[in-house]
Amino acid sequence: MSKLNHFNVNNSKQKNKLKIMRKIIVTVLFATILLSCNTRQYEVETEFKKQLNTIIDEVDIPGINLAILMPNDEIIAVSAGYSDKENQILMKPEDKMFSGSTGKTFCAAIILQLVDEGKLDVDDSISKYFGKEEWFNKLPNANDVTNRMLLNHTSGIPRYVFDDTIWKTMQNDPEKVWSGVERLEFIFDAEPTHPAGKGWGYSDTNYIILGMLIEQTTGNEYYAELTKRILQPMNLTNTLPANKREIPGLITGYSVHSKDLFVPEKVLLENGKFVFNPQMEFTGGGIACTTSDLAKWGKIYYNGELFSEESYKMMRTPCDQKTSLDDNAGYGFATFVWNENDQISYGHTGFFPGYVTIVEYIPALDISIAMQWNTDKKNPEKSLHQYLNDVKAILF
């Protein structure tokens, strides 16, 4: 073999060795980075779990699910406590709970889509749509209410759920399927809480009427429209209509309002059915979901991904009336508006017998956070939003 050939062979071997060494170095480096990221995530999740356990001890509640959607769409999902305390079943991120009034966001989103499609106007009087119905004039402030007033709770129409009769009816007939008018009957001919547009008063009744408006405008059942417009295209596969007593994956909740709401403390019965038909809630809430799906939806809705910039601006702009919400929050369209330390965030809370929920989206950080408790017990000294602030302190 010539010296030149010998040199070429050695050079080729050297190059192969270098290639192998590079691969080893890259592999080790990648593994180190991955291990570092995994270690960091484990540390963060551990801190979150400690915080959730602190809440459980402080409020004396069964369990909590927390989900955080990061700017890169990574989900951090953490659970603590029990989904069933009698049977010592641990809470899991895939557990579903009723999300209460956070479901109003889905109703408002569809209304805004219909506005963008030219089928509705937010400043139309509701008499334009329902004025010929025989029940219409029994509504408080009937002829003065607009769609905007329904969306931001300035209509003055009282809350139908404040009538004990509705809860007694569900106790006696837990399978009952409610019509929109049957819900409204509880506030027919009642005194308005304030003149239309001249005050603020949170009322599920407003969103019941909006749900009826969606069905009238589209000619479609609300949940079918919701599935077609939002749940399927947004891939919210763990968000389900709360329109029947058996919901796949629903864990039990625990109610501290048993006497007032005529329900047992443990609201999911042994046969897997909820104590009454949650269809009663309709567009006042009407959703069961995982906390991770709720965090995803929080970003979709509060980032305005489903409607025009004009509709997005209306949605996130608080009404002129002072609210009675915790933490001095304003209220837009199904939107709590928090302003703390010059940081704006948007979200909503939810209550349903046995469950409480909160979702918050922080635009400046592009982070969405959701938290659910499988109890309707709250700390009277501290809001759900303040508990989320404790979580955010760890995150930031």
Q: Is the pLDDT of residue 17 over 70?
A: no
Give tens-digit pLDDT for 109-142.
999 999 999 999 999 999 999 999 999 999 999 9
Give tens-digit pLDDT for 24-38.
554 444 444 434 455
pLDDT value for 19 = 55
How far is Cα 153 from Cα 330, in angstroms, rounded to an integer?
11
pLDDT value for 13 = 55
How far is Cα 348 from Cα 102, in angstroms, rounded to an integer?
6
Give tens-digit pLDDT for 323-358.
999 999 999 999 999 999 889 999 999 999 999 999
For the whole model, what pTM was predicted?
A: 0.90
Decide which of 297 and 21 is more confident: 297
